[in-house]
Structure 1
């Protein structure tokens, strides 16, 4: 139950090494920041997908304390406003692929004909080489099942990305140290012809200094899409540390022309990995860094920036920020909201819930969650939450605009007899009107206090 949260686990490590204790103590000062966008675990290799009015974010998962690429499963988050992200848990892991032995690395999800296809690189247990597998689901949040029972393609290289052109032809791109593509069939789980290697030329992908074996900037992580009739490929460039570069072409297979840097080398991760989407009339650039406590090259975190293309279609230079993307619209506090919908959280974890979906867990005294931009309108009269506790419980304090602001509501959470034995508690609210960031601060005794599955405000009559 309590094995996931990086901020929780880093507390013990912090007390050993000192520096992280300082980082944890100053974390409330960053409460208004929204990058990285997930704080309950380390996430990497973002693959955003726009579907049905939401952005679904598919990520890898760096295990706590990793000193290499220790990755066992993939994760899904979603948002309709780009700041409050709902955790959908892990719908797929290495165990999904019976033939795979290790390495749940950078994948990509695409929707076609009402199904969702997740292409991932894993180690083939029979050959010991990296191979590309594909899983399928009827839902963007899974669960996903192996579509083939064997690799889709295997040549020892990684980082698949799928692009479906306007004519319906789907392309799978992947590769490190090379760059490959193949044409997927309509079923998305088979292909026609042989894999084709894309020429890595300085004209197409820039020049790298001092590495005759890798003469161009292309390193890994291709992301291909089409905009205004022009094809873009965005990729991790050089090594190490990596920056993000891009090239363009008149067609999906080239010829490619190098265009320059999108995101310079920065942050505390020696890798980077990009995903680019348009959503509600805006453009967004996803990437990863090592910005959370304990973060680094093997403990990475996904972040996002809003950007605008230059008038000629070129990229501006995008830099990493703590602020992240601005909120689109507001959050409705009078609709039932998942407890694991979070703009920023400190100390909490998430886990599968016996009450359905995912719940927030491992809540200890002093932990808190922020949701951003809740519109209370004329005012709220009461607050309810679905809770469970195997201990004596604690309190949920509802605060506005600050983690240490005066509470507008305090709900007592009793012991319910088990971590998955659920009750609904309610309490009156005073002073919640208009639009505010909402902080749920948790108080009580020592150790884990309670779990939260969902919450909801009621409006003043």
Structure 2
């Protein structure tokens, strides 16, 4: 065996053993109130957006969308919906929920009404999971109760859709099949100690807000923020989507650097995932929160075990193909970066400075080593580079892509470089270097290639 082949084998083995997902799953901005769905073999997470400057109150103007096929690399789809989408609203884009039905995506969101100066629930609609979304009604869908926040939609096996919401009360209504109207009265759930526990310091039951309704096996599960401030996540079960409910206890105890928390539970590729938010990013806190995810297993009786927050998160359920175009905003972990979007290239990575980096997990190079790495960039800086390192931030240098000015921050150019041979599964670190304190370049996408078709 030659020395070069030996190195390839060693790195194939090491690469297969390296790589741990990390929480929070998005590091380029604050992403509270996750609402995950599964569609077309992908997970889409619809989140709120806490503004970076928020320190003493919620500053939330829009919502964001992220997707993943492997549960560890998350693609940023930008912000396809804001409070400005709704002519009748004036702000406070709080926790919402998007759901697919009849070829369309319906996003239920709470906003402050210009007319009442209180939260009402609107609904936006799109033909795709990433938008753009438009106001489906040009008026609130729900605007008659107190505390109309945290809408959540559930479609039962018989096709009946239900909308749940509320703080301090829990409400529901049966939605019509068009998903933008309802039948019958708005129903206030009777909150009893038997149904929702009693560990709240100032309310009769533990229920606080953020309902998340779903079905698993024989049970209907109502999961919610509970216990006062700071909040835990508790749950109740029923044999019906409308109760009666039986309190089952706390899923996630109070922890993390945030006084609120928001649940979301899905099944994907045979695994169960629990989404929530905390304040653990740098600068994070009660008004700057970030989405996290944990895997869990139901107990044999259908109950949910205690789930604690971790920094490691979850394992990958599939690999990423490095030989197809990968958006730069597809990220497992990053430091020092932001994303932006425009009509020319969509979402891209920006605010890149010397020493910043992106980590991408679980790439599968196969048995045929690549020859070329290419990236689409835009810059006004005379000189910068991207170091390609395997498996660790200080790992083997696979190659270095040298960059120069492309003529402007939106003058995009594809630049390529030759790379060392690599096979097997690896994490990839893109380390950004430059001899200035200023921003270096904007970054749209990258890919590896077996063909020597350099575009330098």
| Smaller-chain TM-score bracket | over 0.9
Give TM-score scaled by structure 2 length.
0.92
Whole-Å Cα distance in 1 between the matches of residues 23 and 384 of structure 2?
29
Counterpart in the other structure of 1:436: 426
Provide the residue aligned with 2:435 in structure 1. Answer: 445
CA distance in 2, matches of 1:459, 1:200: 62
CA distance in 2, matches of 1:274, 1:71: 18
Q: 1:407 aligns with which of 393, 397, 410?
A: 397
Kept after mapping to 1: 8 A contact 2:266/2:274: yes
**1:142 is paired with a residue of what secondary structure?**
coil
Equivalent residue number for residue 423 of structure 1: 413
Alignment of 1:355-366 (within 5 A): 355-366=344-355
> How has the CA–CA distance of structure 1 residues 314 and 360 changed in structure 2, closer, same or farther, with 3 Å as cutoff?
same
Correspondence for 1:293 among 282, 286, 303 = 282
Residue 388 of structure 1: aligned partner:
378
Q: Determine if contact 1:121/1:131 at 8 Å carries over to the other structure.
A: yes
Distance in 2 of aligned mates of 1:240 and 1:336: 45
Find the aligned partners of 2:332 and 2:231 in 1 and give their Cα distance.
28
Does 2:164 correspond to 1:173? yes
Match of 1:131 among 117, 120, 127: 120
Q: 1:141: Cα distance to partner?
A: 0.2
Conservation of the 8 A alpha-carbon contact between 2:20 and 2:314: no
The question of whether the paired residues in 2 share the 8 Å contact of 1:185 and 1:192 is answered with yes
Contact 1:388 1:422 in 2 (8 A): yes
8 Å CA contact 2:108–2:124 kept in 1: the answer is yes
CA contact (8 A) 2:200 2:226 kept: no
2:49 to 42, 61, 67: 61
- Paired residue secondary structure (2:84): helix
Distance 1:436 1:410 in 2: 17
Distance in 2 (CA, whole Å) between partners of 1:392 and 1:105 is 42
Alignment check: 8 A CA contact 1:354 1:420 kept: no
List per-residue Cα deviations over 1:347-369 (Å, max 9, x = no partner).
11111144422111111111100
Aligned to 1:457: 448
Q: 2:341 aligns with which of 340, 343, 352?
A: 352
SS in 2 for 1:61: coil
Cα separation, 1, equivalents of 2:200 and 2:391:
49
Contact 1:65 1:294 in 2 (8 A): no
Where 2:310 maps in the other structure, the secondary structure is: coil
- Runs of 5+ in structure 2 lacking a partner? 1-18
Report how many residues are paired: 429
| Residue 108 (1) aligns with residue 97 (2) | yes
Q: Is the 8 A contact 1:355 1:422 kept in 2?
A: no
CA–CA separation in structure 2 for the residues paired with 1:47 and 1:432: 38
Q: CA offset at residue 412 of structure 1? A: 1.1
Task: Look up the SS of the partner of 2:138 in the other structure.
Answer: coil
For 1:336 and 1:210, the matched residues in 2 are separated by: 53
Kindly state the Cα deviation for residue 330 of structure 1 after the two structures are TM-superposed: 1.0
TM-score by length of structure 1 reads 0.91
Give the aligned partner of residue 28 of structure 2. Answer: 40
8 A contact 1:369–1:440 mirrored in 2: yes
Q: Which residue of 2 aligns with 1:200?
A: 191
TM-fit CA distance, 1:202 = 0.2
Native 8 Å contact 1:53 1:80 kept in 2: yes
How far 1:261 moved relative to its partner? 0.7
